[in-house]
A and B are shown apart, each in its own frame.
Chain A
Amino acid sequence: MEWYWLLLALLGSILILMFAGIPVGIAFLMVCTFTAYHLYGRWDGVDENLTAAVFQLTDNAFSNMANFAIVPIPMFLLMGELFFHTGLAQRMFNAIEKLLGRLPARLSYVTVGGGTALATLSGSSMGATALLGTLMVPEMTKRGYKKSMSIGPILGTGGLAMLIPPSALAVLLGTIAEIDIGKLLIAGIIPGLILALFYAVLIFVRATLDPDAAPAYEVEDVSLGARAVLFLTDIAPMISVIVMVITLIMVGVATPSEAAAYGCVGVILLAFAYLLVTPLVRFLFAGRDAQSRDDAAIALKRFVPFFAAAFWRSLWGAARVTVVALLILLGSSLFSNVLAASGASVALIEWVTSFDVSAYAMLVMMLCILLLLGMFMDQLAMMLLTVPIFFPVIAGLDFGMELPVVQIWFGVIMLLAMEVSFTTPPFGLLLFVMQGVAPPGTRFGEICMAALPFMGCAMVLIALIIFFPDLAVWLPFLID
């Protein structure tokens, strides 16, 4: 069989199986098994070649999964879960709300600022969107905000979790594509912050053009001193954990795996400090009144069961996503092996690079495929399907940059494209999450319309990164 028919059959059958509703990891397993039969076996029985091929696949699957490079996935997930379950994430969000004071479209800015911080801390788009939707949308609706100004920013900032480190999805992308995970994580910082800035500018422009979309209202005045204290006590310590993780990776003191584990310990220490040490210190040094005595007694009594429950829930949540990711990795490793064994991937690269089309035209084509797939597929499935094909193709094209730089650059573009696809109708995940937590009566169409301008911001950023690659690759290669 010609390589293109084989490739078409492989990709086509995977897509059909996935649309039929077969679990993604199992769909890949099915296709790989079938292809192994086709390439190595006889249909009238099991022969030695086939057995050897499946033995090799099993061995490869083991080697790819028993891999220290994927440690940051569970560690970053655990870190995010700990932030959520110990209440630290919500504490910081509340502090950001108090800090912003009186502004037109204040709550939309709170959503962007708090949401970016929340998504960064938690690394979970789902969790951040669900929490923001539950906390902010009822309040914004009560204050007369239009849907575009209440739901839109939440959908926009929710997706930032996969771009700004610590992002488990970036680690998975780095693992599947076999590129430097630390550099890919660092590369997401500047684009992530630019995107948050774009969102803030978008809100400013809309609030200026249509003041009724987000009416201003009176808020409790917080003095400058109180704001400084609030920042130092409720925001700076949380951010310092993220800064520590990023710095450890950037300066090369720790690998992403080690930095992620230290991040988890940092969150645990913060939880100790906030939930146990602070009430005790307040009681011992700031006045032994009845209130602080009660607070200290409650903290002593409740800390252990609360923390134990939060820690267990965090372990469970991290394990849940890790196991799903591992099954995906299993499918991915087999798919890459089958593609390589069939010769389809090499032939595809030769075919693609033989055209007299610019590398950028190829890049745009790949982006279009990602956006199209994102309308119907989950991000992990998209990654699994496209990474084994796109990354070798990208490596064969000439963008005027060295290969490691191109790979990181394309990795960031891919993460951004997946972020856009998170909110692309009809199956963008965050649209469904939003519908689940939005006030009753919110139509799906309204949610989609609210997401559009924020998707536009991400598209503009993708274009900027394509034309100015330094936005993504300057920081990670700075240390080199």
Chain B
Amino acid sequence: MKFLGWLDWAWGKLLWALMAFAALYIGFIMVAIIYQTVFRTAGWDYSPLGFVLIEYGFVYALFLGSPWLIRQRGHIYIEILTAMLSPRARTVLSRLIAFACAITCFIWVWYSWQLLVEQYDDPMAYDELRAQFDIRSWLGTVAFPFGFALMGLEFVRFMFTHETMHQGVAGVASERAELEETRARLAGQD
């Protein structure tokens, strides 16, 4: 049990680090846009690769940040039914929901992995929208199986942890989490 606890802690830190990459990416977008517009306006040479990195970055940011948000109950889900149930029934339903979510994620892991392999094996599979950069298609698809796998694992975790995904408080989960953060921040300012 002690090992599992340590593993869970380390896993949580890893997901936090992935989310931190997503946060840094937001800063990168700002810098990249300013760099490109300033250079373009001044008539200097600049690399248009920044646009591609920004666009691909959205897909990576989604799959890097989502697992941590699932862990923090940061995605949007509505607690109406779960708030009306008894704690025991809520626990059962919450674990069933986590199971269904995990299955959905793993179905997507399966299909997107197949697509990834197919694109990797096909030397002619290039990103046609950004043809001037010679980007292999699998570079965009690779985020899908890995991201869905991490998300699926987080849902699996909720099937077994003491604290369930649903807390039985009516409302929207992500917004409650954000509200708690805002209140903590305001308390900190006081």
Contact surface of A with B, Cβ cutoff 8 Å: 18-26, 29-30, 33, 51, 54-55, 58-59, 61-63, 65-68, 70-71, 74-75, 77-78, 126-127, 130-131, 134, 254, 257-258, 261-262, 264-265, 311-313, 315-320, 322-324, 326-328, 330, 376-378, 380-381, 426-427, 429, 432-433, 436-437
- Does B34 touch A at the CB level, under 8 Å? yes
Q: Please measure, in the bound complex, the distance between the C-alpha atom of A54 and the C-alpha atom of B80, giving whole angstroms.
A: 32
Does B66 contact A51, Cβ atoms closer than 8 Å?
no
Please give, as numbers and ranges, the residues of chain B lying within 8 Å of A427 by CB-CB distance.
Answer: 78, 80, 170-172
Say whether, besides A261-B33, A315-B24, A33 and B107 are in contact (CB < 8 Å).
Answer: yes
Q: Give the residue name and chain of the A residue nearest to B90 (CB).
A: A21
Q: Give the residue name and chain of the A residue nearest to B155 (CB).
A: A26
Does B100 contact A58, Cβ atoms closer than 8 Å?
no
Please give, as numbers and ranges, the residues of chain B lying within 8 Å of A29 by CB-CB distance.
Answer: 104, 108
- Top 9 nearest A-B pairs by Cβ distance? A323-B65, A261-B33, A319-B23, A326-B62, A66-B55, A315-B23, A23-B75, A54-B111, A23-B77
Does B29 contact A71, Cβ atoms closer than 8 Å?
yes
Please give, as numbers and ranges, the residues of chain A lying within 8 Å of B77 by CB-CB distance.
Answer: 18, 21-24
Say whether, besides A21-B77, A427-B171, A319 and B22 are in contact (CB < 8 Å).
Answer: yes
Does B58 contact A130, Cβ atoms closer than 8 Å?
no
Does A71 contact B33, Cβ atoms closer than 8 Å?
yes
Q: Give the residue name and chain of the A residue nearest to B19 (CB).
A: A319
Does A324 contact B174, Cβ atoms closer than 8 Å?
yes
Say whether, besides A68-B54, A323-B69, A26 and B172 are in contact (CB < 8 Å).
Answer: no
Q: Please measure, in the bound complex, the distance between the C-alpha atom of A145 and the C-alpha atom of B105, giving whole angstroms.
A: 52
CB-defined A-B contacts under 8 Å, sample of 10: A21-B80, A21-B93, A55-B118, A70-B58, A134-B186, A257-B33, A323-B62, A378-B76, A378-B175, A433-B175
Say whether, besides A33-B104, A68-B55, A265-B34, A74 and B112 are in contact (CB < 8 Å).
Answer: no
Please give, as numbers and ranges, the residues of chain B lying within 8 Å of A130 by CB-CB distance.
Answer: 179, 182-183, 186
Interface residues of B in 63-91 (CB under 8 A from A): 65-66, 69-70, 74-82
Q: Please measure, in the bound complex, the distance between the C-alpha atom of A63 and the C-alpha atom of B140, giving whole angstroms.
A: 9
Please give, as numbers and ranges, the residues of chain B lying within 8 Å of A436 by CB-CB distance.
Answer: 179, 183
Q: Please measure, in the bound complex, the distance between the C-alpha atom of A127 and the C-alpha atom of B30, giving whole angstroms.
A: 22
Does B172 contact A429, Cβ atoms closer than 8 Å?
yes
Say whether, besides A58-B115, A130-B182, A319-B26, A33 and B76 are in contact (CB < 8 Å).
Answer: no
Say whether, besides A315-B27, A319-B61, A322-B61, A19 and B81 are in contact (CB < 8 Å).
Answer: yes
Interface residues of B in 119-139 (CB under 8 A from A): 129
What's the minimum C-beta distance from B132 to chain A, rounded to whole angstroms? 15
Does B186 contact A74, Cβ atoms closer than 8 Å?
no
Say whether, besides A51-B114, A71-B33, A327 and B75 are in contact (CB < 8 Å).
Answer: yes
Contact surface of B with A, Cβ cutoff 8 Å: 19-20, 22-27, 29-30, 33-34, 37, 51, 54-56, 58-59, 61-62, 65-66, 69-70, 74-82, 93-94, 97, 100-101, 104-105, 107-108, 111-112, 114-115, 118, 129, 140-141, 144, 165-166, 170-172, 174-176, 178-179, 181-183, 185-186
What's the minimum C-beta distance from A138 to chain B, rounded to whole angstroms? 12
Other than the known A262-B37, A429-B175, what 20 A-B pairs have Cβ atoms closer than 8 Å? A30-B101, A33-B107, A54-B111, A55-B111, A55-B115, A58-B112, A65-B58, A65-B62, A66-B140, A71-B54, A74-B26, A127-B182, A258-B33, A320-B65, A323-B62, A323-B69, A326-B61, A326-B62, A427-B172, A432-B171
Please give, as numbers and ranges, the residues of chain A lying within 8 Å of B30 by CB-CB distance.
Answer: 75, 78, 261, 264-265
Q: Please measure, in the bound complex, the distance between the C-alpha atom of A63 and the C-alpha atom of B172, giving whole angstroms.
A: 29
Q: Please measure, in the bound complex, the distance between the C-alpha atom of A462 and the C-alpha atom of B66, giving whole angstroms.
A: 36
Q: Please measure, in the bound complex, the distance between the C-alpha atom of A319 and the C-alpha atom of B64, giving whole angstroms.
A: 11
Say whether, besides A29-B108, A30-B100, A55-B111, A21 and B82 are in contact (CB < 8 Å).
Answer: yes
What's the minimum C-beta distance from A323 to chain B, rounded to whole angstroms? 4
Please give, as numbers and ranges, the residues of chain B lying within 8 Å of A77 by CB-CB distance.
Answer: 26
What's the minimum C-beta distance from B177 to chain A, rounded to whole angstroms? 9
**Of A26, A54, A131, A437, which one neighbours B101 at CB under 8 angstroms?**
A26
Does B29 contact A74, Cβ atoms closer than 8 Å?
yes
What's the minimum C-beta distance from B24 to chain A, rounded to whole angstroms? 7
Say whether, besides A62-B141, A316-B23, A254 and B37 are in contact (CB < 8 Å).
Answer: yes
Please give, as numbers and ranges, the residues of chain B lying within 8 Å of A78 by CB-CB distance.
Answer: 26-27, 30
Say whether, besides A22-B97, A24-B76, A315-B23, A330 and B115 are in contact (CB < 8 Å).
Answer: no
What's the minimum C-beta distance from B21 to chain A, rounded to whole angstroms? 9
Q: Please measure, in the bound complex, the distance between the C-alpha atom of A427 and the C-alpha atom of B75, giving whole angstroms.
A: 17
